[in-house]
Amino acid sequence: MSSELLQRVEAHLSVIYPKEDSNFLAQQLIRTMGIPDDTHSPAPFTNLWDESDIYLITYGDTLLDESKGPDYKPLKNLNHFVKNYLNDVVSAVHILPFYPYSSDDGFAVIDYYQVNEGLGDWRDIREISQDVKVMADVVINHCSARSGWFENFKQGKHPGKDFFFEASPAEDTSMVVRPRTHDLLKEVVTSDGNKYIWCTFSHDQVDFDFRNPVVLNEFISILSFYLEQGITIFRFDAVAFLWKEAGTTCINLPQTHEVVRLMRLLVEHKNPQAVIITETNIPNRQNLMYFGNANEAHAIYNFSLPPLLINTLVNGDCTHLKTWLMSLPPAQNGTAYFNFIASHDGIGLRPVEGMLSEEETDLLINTMVSFGGRVSWRALKGGRNQPYEINISLFDAMSGTVDGLDGLQKQRFICAHTIMLGIEGIPAIYIHSFVGTQNDIERVNLSNQNRCINRHKWDYPNLQSHLGNSFSHHAQVFDEMTALIKLRKQQKAFHPNATQFTLHLGVQLFGFWRQSLDRQQSIFCISNVTCEPQELSLADLNLIDLDEWRDLITAQDFTNVRDCISLAPYQTVWISN
C-alpha cells in the first residue's frame, strides 16, 4: 500500500471523522477500492478531455421497440442508435440511472449493484463502453425506501441498520435549504419503535447518514464496482445535500466537499482516466466551489447557462447572459465546465437567483407556460413556496418570444445549441434535443409528474422513420445538430479549456472570442439573439488584417476586415483565422 496515498487518504478522513481511527479507515477504503500497491499518483492539473468531447444524455429506455419482443432490451436500442447515428458525433453517453428503482424515474435506487432487468444487464453497459465512454449516476444522497438496506433498517439488521439519517421532529430545521415542498421528516415504524428519517427529495427517497464511515465505505465499493464494469465517468447526483448538521443549512457543508475530494483521490488512483462530475443545482457562486483547487470535481454542471440562454433568446436581449459569462472564472487545467441547456430535469431557477429580477423570472415562467410548460416549486422558511424549475422540452421552449409564437422555432433552437457548443466547457446534449422532441403532455397527465414533460419515450422504429424523412422537423434538427457538432469537434479553439473573452456588441448580438491553447486558432462566435436581422461591423472585432478570416458555418470568406455583414434572425457565425 502506497504510504503517500495512505497519508493523503488519512488527511481527508481526519477532517470528516475527527474522532475515528483515520489510519484504520484509510487502509479499509484503499482495500475496498482495490488500488494496487505500486500505483502512482496521476499528474495534477491534467485535462482528460479535448475539443472532440461531446456527451449524450439519455435514459436507458428512451428508445423502445416492442416489435422485437420482450427479450430485446432498450439498452440494445441505445447501443444501436449510438453506433449507427452518433458514432462520429458523441464521445460519451450519460445513461441516467439504470438500476432497479421505485420512483423518480430511477433516482430512488433499490439496488446499486444491479441493472434494471427491464433495460438490460451489465453486458449491455459494457458493450456500449466499447465504443464510447459511459457516464453513470452515483445517487449518493439517498436511496429508495423500498431498498434492501432500508428494509434492514426497519428490522434492525445489518447492512442498513445505521445507514440512514435520523432526526427528531422537535429539532429546529428552519435553516435547512429545501428543494421540495413535502415534510422533511418521514415517520417510520421499526423494530426499535417509531423513528423519523430525513427525506430531502421525497418520502420514497431516504437520506443516507455519512456520519457513519460504513456508508462511505459502501459507496467506495460501488465506485470500484462501476469502474470494473467499464464506467469511467461519475455524476454525483444531489451531492450538495450529502452532509447534515443540526443548526445549519445542511447544504454545501465542509464535510461534503471533503468527501468529494476523498472519492476523487481514490477513484483516480484506481483509474487515472476516470472523471467525477458534481450535479449541484444551486446558486452559481456555490456551484463553483466544487472545483476545489482542481482536487475535487473534475467538472461541474453549468446550471446557470440554461435559464440565462433561454431568457436571452425569448427576450432578444443578451445583457444577463453577457454579464454572467464575463463573471465566469476560467476553469484551470484539470477542471472544466459541463455545459448543457436541456436535460431530464427542468430549467433550474435557483442558479439565476441574484441575476434575474423577480419580474424577469416571472416573465420567463409565464412565457414558458404559454408554450405548454409547467412549474415545480420548493419550500422556503416560513411555509412559503418559490418556483424551483420550469418543466418543458427545449424545442417547445424555443417556440417563440415573450411576444408570442412565431415561425422561427427551429432557428432559435439551433442558435441556442450553437452558442452552447462554443462556450468554454464540455458540451452535453440531451437525446431529445438531438431529434427536436416536443412536450409530452400525455406522460405528465398519466404520471402527475411535471418532469415527465421532457422524458418522452420514443418507439425506435418510428423515430428512425422520422429521421429518414427530410420533411420531418426531427430529421432537420438531427441533421443540423450533427453537422454543427462535427464542425465544432475539428476546432482546437473549442477545447474546453481554451481561452475565452466576452465581446461587447450591444444587447442584440451575443459574442465571445475563443483562442486555442497553442494560440494558433482564434474563433469569434457571434449570434443574433433577436427575431430581426442585425448588422455586425467586423471592425468591432479588431480582426488582424494579415490573417485570412472565414465563417466556419457558412464557409463565407471575409476579405475586408472593415466590412459590415447582416445576420439573419438567430444566425450564428464562427469567424476563424
The DSSP code for 345 is S
Q: Residue for cell digits 411535471?
A: 450
CA dihedral sign, ordered 31, 35, 38, 40? negative
Q: Spell out the long-range contacts of 71-77 with Cβ–Cβ below 8 A and sequence spacing 24 or more.
A: 73/118, 73/119, 73/120, 73/121, 73/124, 74/118, 74/119, 74/120, 75/115, 75/119, 75/120, 75/124, 75/125, 75/128, 76/120, 76/124, 77/460
| 94 in a known ligand binding site | no
| 344 in a known ligand binding site | yes
How many Å apart are CA 253 and CA 256, to the nearest integer?
5
Amino acid at 414: I
Q: Residue for cell digits 445538430?
A: 481
| 412 in a known ligand binding site | no
Task: Return all residues near 134 (Cβ < 8 A) that are at least 6 apart.
Answer: 92, 93, 95, 125, 128, 230, 231, 232, 233
Beta-strand pair 572-576/522-528: antiparallel
| 104 in a known ligand binding site | yes
| 455 in a known ligand binding site | no
The DSSP code for 439 is -
Chain centre distance of CA 400: 25
Q: What is the 3-state secondary structure (H, E, C) of 26-75?
A: HHHHHHHHCCCCCCCCCCCCCCCCCCCCCEEEECCCCEECHHHCCCCCHH
Strands, DSSP E only, in 324-481? Answer: 336-339, 347-348, 374-379, 385-391, 400-401, 404-405, 426-430, 458-459
Q: Residue for cell digits 500497491?
A: 37
- C-beta of residue 117 within 8 angstroms of C-beta of residue 75: no
* Size (the chain), residues: 577
Catalytic residue status for 237: yes
| 38 in a known ligand binding site | no
How many Å apart are CA 35 and CA 16, to the nearest integer?
21
Task: Return all residues near 177 (Cβ < 8 A) that are at least 6 apart.
Answer: 249, 250, 251
Cell numbers at 166, concatenated: 435520523
| 61 in a known ligand binding site | no
Nearest to 54 by CA among 18, 27, 92: 92
- The residues facing 428 across adjacent strands are 55
| 384 in a known ligand binding site | no
**Residue of 237, 317, 396, 440 with catalytic role:** 237
What's the Rg (C-alpha) of the chain? 24
Q: Which helix (H) or strand (E) holds 254?
A: helix 254-270
How many Å apart are CA 153 and CA 148, to the nearest integer?
9
Cell numbers at 43, concatenated: 499528474
Task: Return all residues near 289 (Cβ < 8 A) that are at least 6 apart.
Answer: 252, 257
The DSSP code for 92 is E
Q: Which residues are annotated as a binding site?
A: 104, 142, 235-237, 344-345, 451
Q: Which residues are annotated as a binding site for substrate?
A: 104, 142, 235-237, 344-345, 451
Q: Which residues are catalytic?
A: 237
